[in-house]
């Protein structure tokens, strides 16, 4: 089993806070994906992390890219990911972003509304091109995850509702500059129970039959991402169970001959390879509790403040008896708290702390609030950590 390596001598010598990516964990994760994906196509969800070396490692493993902005489309192309493997989703694509996709002949636009279809058709016509599109369908499947990261319910802003499907399909046929190549779904993120994925398969089968009964053949089915990771035990479960995940789709989703099944995995690819490395600035005795005040805050890792997310916190400098702390950052907001009543090895000023499982939606969501500097990042390769 591959384990992330955190040598405190090397990490402690670098100015904190910073992100640390263990590329050995990332490579082991990508190997596992490639071992179990069979003929499925995996597009890495760029929104999770676009660190240059992380992206290069993902590109070398042969994954395509799932983008949600012109910036991400450009970053995928700059990383050398072929345009023919780039999918582009998002409820609010601006004209320049659509044009960027058209100019580079990306594989497919995942389209979320009728007005968007019309705009893509118009922009493609102006270039004398035909845009490949997949309809993003809202399957009304519950993902049993945090309400901020659930996307596949009727109440969410994403995708085309099932009730509108016929109307939209008829309308696509009237547009000369778009070609309907597939359908797309994404039900949410950090899904650790496989049942919602199984529910999604059942829905996709029904929707496929519906399309067939109307004489529409689809080449591509894209089921999005969402596979969760184990935030509690990153050392025991550094690589998600891709075998079980792909098996669900293999067993429950009926593909037609020649059809390709696509995935857009973000978190499951990169979360476990990354940590936010920080230093304890002060240990402050409150009236009823002790605070460990770090030099990292929600400006570097916003997930605990925004989603009440749990990240394992390790004191790399101490093997003293455990004590209980509120682990907080330096930002002038009470929500700048990584964990309350957290039990970890007794800490003192200067100790090096790792906030684990931060490779996905960590560095990329950093901000400069309080005029803080955006965090730097280092990889195990460049620090010569095996
Ligand atoms: N495809 C689409 C259309 C998406 O909206 C997303 C994520 C993905 C793929 C990748 O999902 P993943 O495999 O990473 O679960 N910032 C939040 C997560 C937001 C996810 C948004 N969409 C967090 O830190 O938990």
Least confident of 5-9, 66-70, 182-186, 231-235: 5-9
Ligand 1 centroid from CA 188, angstroms: 7
Report pLDDT digits (tens) over 132-151.
999 999 888 877 666 655 66
Report pLDDT digits (tens) over 201-251.
999 999 999 899 989 999 999 999 999 999 999 999 999 999 999 999 999
How much of the chain is in helix, strand and coil states, percent to nearest 5?
35, 25, 45
Residue at 303 is within a domain = yes
Contact 23, 273 (CB under 8 A): yes
Q: What is the tally of structural domains in the chain?
A: 2
Q: Report which protein residue has its CA nearest ligand 1's atom 24.
A: 361
Ligand 1 centroid from CA 305, angstroms: 17
> What domain range is 334 assigned to?
272-379
Ligand 1 centroid from CA 146, angstroms: 12
Ligand 1 centroid from CA 375, angstroms: 22
- pTM score of the predicted model: 0.96
Are 87 and 229 in the same domain?
Answer: yes
Cis peptide before 17 (omega within 30 of 0): yes
Last residue of a domain, one of 218, 251, 270: 270
Ligand 1 centroid from CA 186, angstroms: 9
The string of DSSP letters for 229-288 reads --SS-TTT-SS--HHHHHHHHHHH--PPTT-EEEEEE-HHHHGGGEEEEEEEEEEEE-SS
Report pLDDT digits (tens) over 314-345.
999 999 999 999 999 999 999 999 999 999 99
Are 228 and 283 in the same domain?
Answer: no
> Closest by alpha carbon to 72, among 44, 95, 91?
44
Instruction: Return the pLDDT at 270.
Output: 98
Give residues (CB < 6 A) around ligand 1: 45, 48, 66, 89, 149, 151, 186, 189-190, 224-227, 264-268, 303, 307, 360-361
Are 259 and 283 in the same domain?
Answer: no
* Ligand 1: nearest atom to the Cα of 110: 3
Are 221 and 296 in the same domain?
Answer: no
Instruction: Return the pLDDT at 141.
Output: 85
Are 223 and 278 in the same domain?
Answer: no
Give the C-alpha separation, 66 to 68, whole Å: 7
Close Cβ partners of 171 (under 8 Å, ≥ 6 residues apart): 114, 117
- Of 43, 266, 358, which is best to mutate to test ligand 1, by the most ligand atoms within 8 angstroms of its C-beta? 266
Close Cβ partners of 228 (under 8 Å, ≥ 6 residues apart): 145, 189, 190, 191, 192, 240, 267, 268
């Amino acid at each position: 089993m591959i384990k992330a390596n955190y040598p405190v001598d090397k990490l402690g010598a670098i100015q904190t806070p910073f992100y640390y990516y263990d590329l050995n964990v990332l490579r082991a994760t990508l190997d596992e994906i490639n071992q179990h994906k069979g003929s499925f196509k995996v597009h890495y969800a760029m929104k999770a992390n676009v660190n240059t070396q992380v992206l290069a490692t993902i590109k070398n493993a042969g994954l395509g890219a799932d983008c949600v902005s012109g910036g991400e489309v450009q970053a995928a192309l700059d990383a050398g990911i072929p345009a023919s493997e780039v999918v582009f989703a998002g409820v609010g694509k601006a004209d320049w972003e659509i044009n960027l996709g058209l100019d580079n002949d990306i594989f497919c636009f995942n389209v979320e509304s009728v007005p968007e279809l019309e705009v893509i058709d118009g922009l493609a016509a102006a270039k004398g091109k035909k845009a490949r599109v997949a309809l993003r369908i809202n399957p009304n499947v519950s993902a049993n995850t945090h309400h901020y990261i659930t996307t596949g319910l009727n109440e969410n802003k994403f995708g085309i509702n099932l009730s509108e499907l016929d109307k939209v399909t008829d309308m696509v046929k009237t547009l000369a500059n778009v070609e309907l190549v597939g359908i797309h779904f994404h039900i949410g993120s950090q899904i650790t129970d496989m049942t919602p994925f199984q529910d999604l398969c059942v829905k996709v089968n029904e929707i496929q039959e519906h399309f067939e009964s109307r004489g529409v053949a689809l080449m591509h089915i894209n089921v999005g991402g969402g596979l969760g990771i184990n935030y509690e035990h990153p050392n025991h479960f550094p690589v998600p169970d891709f075998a079980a995940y792909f098996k669900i789709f293999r067993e429950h989703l009926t593909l037609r001959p020649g059809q390709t099944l696509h995935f857009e995995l973000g978190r499951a690819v990169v979360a476990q390879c990354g940590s936010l490395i920080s230093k304890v600035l002060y240990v402050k005795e409150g009236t009823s509790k002790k605070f460990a005040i770090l030099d990292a805050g929600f400006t570097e890792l916003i997930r605990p403040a925004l989603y009440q997310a749990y990240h394992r916190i390790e004191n790399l400098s101490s093997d003293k008896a455990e004590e209980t702390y509120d682990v907080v950052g330096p930002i002038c907001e009470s929500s700048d708290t990584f964990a309350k009543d957290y039990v970890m090895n007794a800490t003192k000023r200067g100790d090096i702390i790792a906030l684990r499982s931060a490779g996905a939606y960590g560095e990329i969501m950093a901000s400069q609030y309080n005029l803080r500097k955006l965090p730097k990042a280092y990889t195990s390769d460049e620090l010569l950590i095996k």
